[in-house]
């Protein structure tokens, strides 16, 4: 099987898993948002109503992820010679931005409610149905987190991993809402301030999660080099490959789940083209075995042993 065909098959398989997870999440979010809004109105719970309105934003995120994974799953073609992995990375980055916006909104509302509570304002006691619906929502979102996270690990999809944390953030947000609802129901009026306090705490946690998701995505979009340990692995493989005298001008980056490795490799100038090609193929085979999906661009140069760089086997990493 040709490398491009194999890569396209892997991309298609990953895209199917991403579409399936996204459709499951989208269906769940639509149902949960509708149930929460209806419950919030009928159950006299402003917290559940607000959480339901917040869940509407999840459907927008679902649609965004679905569109991105459809694009990233098309694989390599004449226009996208490196594949469409950056669409997946862009989806992860945009999700992190959405998380930041949602977290800041929750924090702002929480601060306003705490301020109002300190000035004597009280909340209406929610109906029992609000607590039941909130518990169901937490269970559903936490289950979606574990399911999506497992699929993300299996496929190596950064978009699904980010999407899983989005489910976890929703579960935590709803759990914080439940604390306030339960406090309002069972602890009396003066404890209803637990709702906005919990919302503020969860918003801080969501901001941390957004940073953890957004930073690597931003670095990939800016084509930051692979982590040092992966570069060390590349160095060890190349220097220990028989026939390689030295190498330099190493450049690395990520494109979705694909690692792109460019380098100049020095070999004995008397080797035939076939022999040099076999050595580069062996380097590529070892890199794929050690790192996963790798696209290499190896430029072969003759080794003359007549300069310090070649004698010492030094290399430059860029």
Across the strands, what pairs with 262?
251, 297
Separation between Cα atoms, residue 176 and residue 197, nearest integer Å? 9
Separation between Cα atoms, residue 54 and residue 169, nearest integer Å? 12
Nearest-5° angle of CA 100, CA 176, CA 46?
90
Nearest Cα to Cα of residue 27 among 53, 66, 1? 66
Q: Does domain 3-221 have CATH number 3.40.50.2300?
A: no
Residues of the chain with pLDDT under 50: 1-4, 6, 308-314, 316-318
Residue 80 corresponds to which tokens in the numbers above?
A: 């996208």
pLDDT at 264: 93
Q: Which residues of 71-102 are buried (b: 16+ CB within 10 A; e: fewer)?
A: ebbbbbeeebeebbbbbbbbbbbbbbebbbeb
pLDDT at 139: 92
pLDDT at 254: 83
Separation between Cα atoms, residue 303 and residue 270, nearest integer Å? 9
pLDDT at 80: 60
Torsion angles phi and psi, residue 148, rounded to 5: -70, -40
Residue 268 corresponds to which tokens in the numbers above?
A: 């004995």
The CATH architecture that domain 228-312 belongs to is 2-Layer Sandwich (3.30)
Q: List the domain boundaries for the chain.
A: 3-221, 228-312
Q: Is the pTM of this model over 0.85?
A: no
CB 206 within 8 A of CB 106: yes
pLDDT digits (tens, 9 = 90+) for 241-294: 898 988 998 998 887 667 889 999 999 888 888 889 999 999 999 998 888 878
Number of helices followed by number of strands (H, E) in the chain: 9, 3
């Amino acid at each position: 099987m040709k490398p491009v065909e194999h890569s396209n098959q892997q991309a298609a398989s990953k895209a199917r898993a991403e579409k399936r997870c996204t459709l499951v999440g989208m269906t769940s979010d639509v149902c949960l948002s509708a149930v929460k809004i209806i419950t919030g109105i009928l159950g006299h719970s402003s917290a559940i109503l607000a959480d339901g309105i917040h869940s509407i934003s999840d459907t927008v995120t679902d649609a965004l992820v679905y569109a991105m994974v459809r694009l990233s799953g098309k694989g390599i073609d004449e226009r996208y010679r490196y594949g469409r992995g950056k669409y997946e990375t862009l989806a992860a980055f945009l999700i992190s931005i959405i998380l930041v916006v949602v977290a800041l909104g929750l924090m702002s509302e929480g601060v306003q409610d705490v301020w109002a509570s300190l000035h004597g304002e009280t909340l209406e006691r929610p109906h029992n149905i609000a607590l039941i619906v909130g518990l169901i929502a937490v269970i559903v979102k936490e289950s979606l987190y574990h399911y999506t996270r497992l699929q993300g690990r299996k496929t190596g999809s950064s978009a699904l991993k980010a999407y899983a944390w989005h489910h976890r953030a929703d579960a935590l947000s709803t759990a914080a809402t439940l604390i306030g609802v339960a406090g309002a129901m069972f602890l009396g009026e003066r404890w209803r301030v637990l709702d906005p306090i919990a919302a503020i705490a969860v918003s801080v946690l969501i901001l941390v999660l957004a940073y953890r998701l957004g930073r690597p995505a931003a670095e990939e979009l800016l084509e930051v080099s692979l982590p040092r340990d992966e570069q060390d692995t590349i160095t060890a493989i190349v220097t220990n490959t028989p026939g390689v005298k030295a190498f330099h001008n190493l450049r690395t980056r990520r494109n979705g789940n694909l690692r792109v490795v460019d380098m100049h490799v020095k070999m004995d100038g008397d080797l035939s083209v076939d022999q040099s090609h076999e050595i580069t193929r062996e380097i590529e085979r070892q890199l794929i075995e050690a790192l996963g999906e790798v696209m290499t661009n190896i430029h072969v140069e003759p080794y003359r042993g007549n300069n310090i760089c070649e004698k010492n086997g030094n290399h430059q990493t860029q």
